Structure 1
Amino acid sequence: MNELPERVRAVVDRRAGPIVAALVALGVLLLAANGPFSSVRSLRLVQFVDRALVAAVAAVAYVRARSTPPSWDAVAVAAWVFLAVPVAGTLGYFAFGGGPGSYPGPMGELVNDVLRFLLSVAAVGGLCAAAGAALRRDRRAAAALALLAVPVGQFLVYGAVVLAGA
């Protein structure tokens, strides 16, 4: 099996917490830089934070929870999260939001973006860590259920953010 090199494994074991903290701080800073009084407001920046940074945190959590994953495994988890999060967000938009007059204003939008990012990191990262831990114990069905729950978790995150803003 093509496992992660021992150097990479040691770095992830020692520094998973600080790596996740740095990614979360970067996401919040980018969202704040994209805030209501910014001259660089861009939907692409929000999408980058919501997709790429959440996928990176999920991959780190997965690798940390699994003892010796193959190198392609973490990439597959990150790709799954990168694709599943926007699909679940779109479904959540149609289920919970998009009503007339639902724009919360610029500060409300910033709060919603940060809340959605933090809840996404917690939900998706937790589910991917659970999948890694299940695979470490050779429970493939539990790992598959945890990874299939990623879109459901993101859907619930979107609903929670919309309902909290209401």
Structure 2
Amino acid sequence: MIKKAGINRLFLYNLNFLSYYSKIWILYFPFLIFTSTNNQKNKDMETENTQTENTNQTGAPNSFQHEIPNASVILILGIIALVISFFNSLVGIVAGVVALVMARNAERLYHQTPRLYTLSSYSNIRSGRTCAIIGIVIAILKIILIGIILGLLGAFIPWDQITHGSIQL
């Protein structure tokens, strides 16, 4: 009896084991088919482009290229300038100006030796600069609009009567 119970337990364990792995196989099989077709396409492309395998659009090897210094910082500052300019114009202008100065220096560095830097970092600099410019313009327009509103409100207050004491506030 003990041997039979052990055999039954082993048989049930194997069934659980097989059912578990059959579920994984069912989930994995479509992925296997998809990747095998993509791998064949990739192998075909590699045989066509053996000479340009490790180069980018500028012709420099990818192993020698790196990010432009502060490219992500410029992008973050530009986005901050754009978002904060709706709430606090002064902070938006400061963040925008800092981003513009850093972007000018980074673009100068990129144009001196473009083969050393990646195009994605250069596009981050351009995007950060664009966001900073838009943020600065929004902040300046907001300051002008607030000035116009305060000027119009001040124009309708009877200042002569207030200064001569006939109207008390």
Whether TM-score is above 0.5 comes out as: no
Using CA pairs below 8 Å that are at least 6 residues apart, which structure has the higher relative contact order?
1
Instruction: State the structure with more CA Rg.
Output: 2
TM-score by length of 2: 0.28
**TM-score, normalising length: structure 1:** 0.28
